[in-house]
């Protein structure tokens, strides 16, 4: 959840670390801190609040030095305040640490360290870890790298850490287990970060540490990577980064979220580019072709995901069952591993995650593999943990998604999953040739239709002004668009803090209808294809109870228009592909309501982009 940044080299560290923290602030933003070493002394500045608050606190302080580490926090242990902010310093004042993750057995470790005379100033598990490293270092007379390794073999939990020792100031030790960590390799300099965005303008070469690995990063020496468990040397794979600086800047938009909403036509096209050849009737995806028999022989498909990715999985359930006639179950990854699920070698598990680092999804993957299932990953971040842990997979090509509330991740995940379902349907013969070719042609047209759907921005803004003060909102959809109702409600909750619920439209009368009155806005997703007549009946039920109806309809609709208070039109497409269009106005509506409520759209309270703790 937290973001960590480090630098060791020939440049001034502070500006690099601060800029890196700003780029990682989507990972956590309740407090921030930085340490620099000026050649003689450690200087630490940290504060509750955002990186801008850290900059203000550090103004006037001499932060010069060519070694530095920084942290932006999403609180786990201890409330957000100055003391609990990272970096944390050991009792001697020599060791400094930044940490992303959770040390689950910190309490007994802390008790033991207190007995040995250690004093703690914060409520964090991280301060326990830095003092444990110091105790190991003193007791066994070890250098920093070895002390970190010994200490990490005593802890239970997840971590990405960077540790600095004033007594050996030409080195930073980094390690990871369950939380991502990238090391940028420049000319006579190294960069450490939770992802590559903090150092993309300095180097295009990076090493992504694998789970259970640590790196000794030393000035003027080659980096050494070892296994934490047994100290064995690892030959690190240096990969060339594909990200560019433009992708992680706002590009003239007021917020990253709005930029990412408007990127959807291009990123959907990027996601199917080279994979979808509609005129030739071909879908070609290496991860599927290489494992086609696994999919064709599967008794069922289990989809595991969290949040927005779970909603994409629900859409995929409808698509897979309709196209391939294989039973599909969609599971919350956070619940999956704890209910002793029945999984076997003839199951295919599809794990979906934007970041590729979601801790709950990673845990579900490991369980599925232990049970003998074939595990296929769908994620956005090249080199992420899920891409390495799964047997095979497919990347979305959404580019970096900085806004905490996912938008383009959702539509590109659906795009990938739809292509997989179509490829399997073709191989199984469960779709007619006519339908197969129709879907390929329709999918190729989706980017232009999304662009047209983005033209609803002005009407979404007008509707937002009407409902900006609504305390509650209900979202209704049927069939393929029921998951879109869930996603629409989630977006509103996440960024505007308005309570919202998504429901299957037919379920409304089994409870939620009791909430409907003249003050309740009800968003109804009612495209012409699918269960149109049924949802018109549901709208009439709402209307008869004075509910205020916002309807998302197919262009040219007349029947729903007579009943709804507000209408948003989208282009026509097939029922199965309609979620790629119906979700667009819901994203815009949530965005504008949040802006009008003066909420922090890109960094909503209590949330973080990459959820690397359970």
List active site positions: 2, 609
Backbone angles phi, psi at 107, to 5 degrees: -65, -50
CB 27 within 8 A of CB 610: yes
CB 73 within 8 A of CB 34: no
| Nearest Cα to Cα of residue 494 among 411, 604, 599 | 604
Give alpha helix (H) positions in 104-176.
106-115, 125-140, 144-152
Sheet containing strand 328-332, edge to edge, reads: 328-332, 300-305, 347-353, 374-379, 392-395
| Tokens matching residue 372 | 């003998």
| Nearest Cα to Cα of residue 473 among 559, 586, 582, 312 | 586
CB 496 within 8 A of CB 597: yes
Give alpha helix (H) positions in 203-346.
256-262, 264-272, 286-289, 292-296, 307-324, 333-336
- The sign of the CA dihedral 298, 300, 305, 307 is positive
- Count of CA atoms in the C-beta half-sphere (13 A) of 19: 17
CA-atom Rg of the chain in angstroms:
25
| Nearest Cα to Cα of residue 99 among 24, 19, 160, 174 | 160
| Tokens matching residue 383 | 């080199």
Cis peptide bond prior to 366, omega within 30° of 0:
no
Q: d(Cα 153, Cα 505) in Å, to the nearest integer?
A: 52
Neighbours of 564 (CB within 10 A): 22
| Nearest Cα to Cα of residue 544 among 563, 567, 560 | 563
Q: d(Cα 17, Cα 3) in Å, to the nearest integer?
A: 11
Q: d(Cα 507, Cα 564) in Å, to the nearest integer?
A: 20
Q: d(Cα 511, Cα 473) in Å, to the nearest integer?
A: 15
Q: d(Cα 170, Cα 299) in Å, to the nearest integer?
A: 56
| Tokens matching residue 153 | 């073999």
Sequence-distant (≥ 6) Cβ neighbours of residue 535 within 8 angstroms: 476, 477, 478, 505, 524, 525, 526
| Tokens matching residue 443 | 């999918």
Give the 3-state secondary structure of residue 531: coil
């Amino acid at each position: 959840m937290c973001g960590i940044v480090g630098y060791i080299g020939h440049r001034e560290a502070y500006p690099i670390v601060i800029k890196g923290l700003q780029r990682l602030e989507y990972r956590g933003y309740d407090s921030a801190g930085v340490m620099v070493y000026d050649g003689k002394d450690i200087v630490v500045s940290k504060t509750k609040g955002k990186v801008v608050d850290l900059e203000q606190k550090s103004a006037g302080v001499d932060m010069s030095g060519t070694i530095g580490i920084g942290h932006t926090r999403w609180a786990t242990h201890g409330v957000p305040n100055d003391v609990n902010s990272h970096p944390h310093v050991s009792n001697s004042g020599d060791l400094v640490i930044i940490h992303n993750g959770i040390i689950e057995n910190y309490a007994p470790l802390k008790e033991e360290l207190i007995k040995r005379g250690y004093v703690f100033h914060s409520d964090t598990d991280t301060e326990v870890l830095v003092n444990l490293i110091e105790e190991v270092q003193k007791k066994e007379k070890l250098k920093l790298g070895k002390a970190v390794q010994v200490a990490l073999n005593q802890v239970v939990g997840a971590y990405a850490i960077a540790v600095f020792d004033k007594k050996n100031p030409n080195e930073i030790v980094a390690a990871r287990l369950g939380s991502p960590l990238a090391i940028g390799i420049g000319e006579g300099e190294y960069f450490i970060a939770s992802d590559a965005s903090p150092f993309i303008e300095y180097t295009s070469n990076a090493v992504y540490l694998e789970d259970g690995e640590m790196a000794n990063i030393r000035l003027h020496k080659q980096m050494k990577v070892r296994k934490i468990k047994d100290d064995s040397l690892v030959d690190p794979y240096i990969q060339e980064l594909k990200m560019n600086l433009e992708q992680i800047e706002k590009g003239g938009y007021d917020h990253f979220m709005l930029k990412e909403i408007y990127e959807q036509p291009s990123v959907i096209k990027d996601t199917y580019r080279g994979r979808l050849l509609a005129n030739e009737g071909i879908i070609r995806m290496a991860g599927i072709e290489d494992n086609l028999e696994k999919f064709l022989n599967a008794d069922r498909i289990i989809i595991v995901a969290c949040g927005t990715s779970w909603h994409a999985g629900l859409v995929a359930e409808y698509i897979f069952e309709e196209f391939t006639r294989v039973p599909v179950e969609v599971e919350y990854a956070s619940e999956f591993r704890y209910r002793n699920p029945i999984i076997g070698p003839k199951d295919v598990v599809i794990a979906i995650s934007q970041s590729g680092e979601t801790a709950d999804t990673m845990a579900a993957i490991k369980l599925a593999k232990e049970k003998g299932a074939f595990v296929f990953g769908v994620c956005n971040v090249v080199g992420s943990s899920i891409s390495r842990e799964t047997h095979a997979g497919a990347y979305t090509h959404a580019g970096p998604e900085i806004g905490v509330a996912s938008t383009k991740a959702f539509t590109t995940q659906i795009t990938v999953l739809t292509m997989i379902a179509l490829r399997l349907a073709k191989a199984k013969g469960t779709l007619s040739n006519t339908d197969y070719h129709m879907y390929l042609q329709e999918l190729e047209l989706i980017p232009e239709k999304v662009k047209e759907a983005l033209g609803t921005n002005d009407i979404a803004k007008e509707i937002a002004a009407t409902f900006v003060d609504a305390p509650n909102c209900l979202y209704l959809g049927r069939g393929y668009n029921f998951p879109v109702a869930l996603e629409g409600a989630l977006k509103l909750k996440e960024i505007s803090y308005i309570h919202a619920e998504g429901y299957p439209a037919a379920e409304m009368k089994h409870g939620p209808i009791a909430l409907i009155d003249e003050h309740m806005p009800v968003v109804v997703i009612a495209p012409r294809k699918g269960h149109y007549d049924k949802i018109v009946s549901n709208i009439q039920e709402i209307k008869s109870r004075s509910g205020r109806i916002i309807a998302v309809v197919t262009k040219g609709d007349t029947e729903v228009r007579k009943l709804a208070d507000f209408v948003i039109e989208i282009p026509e497409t097939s029922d199965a592909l309609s979620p790629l269009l119906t979700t667009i106005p819901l994203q815009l509506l949530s965005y504008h309501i949040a802006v009008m409520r003066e909420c922090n759209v890109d960094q909503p309270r209590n949330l973080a982009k990459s959820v690397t703790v359970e």
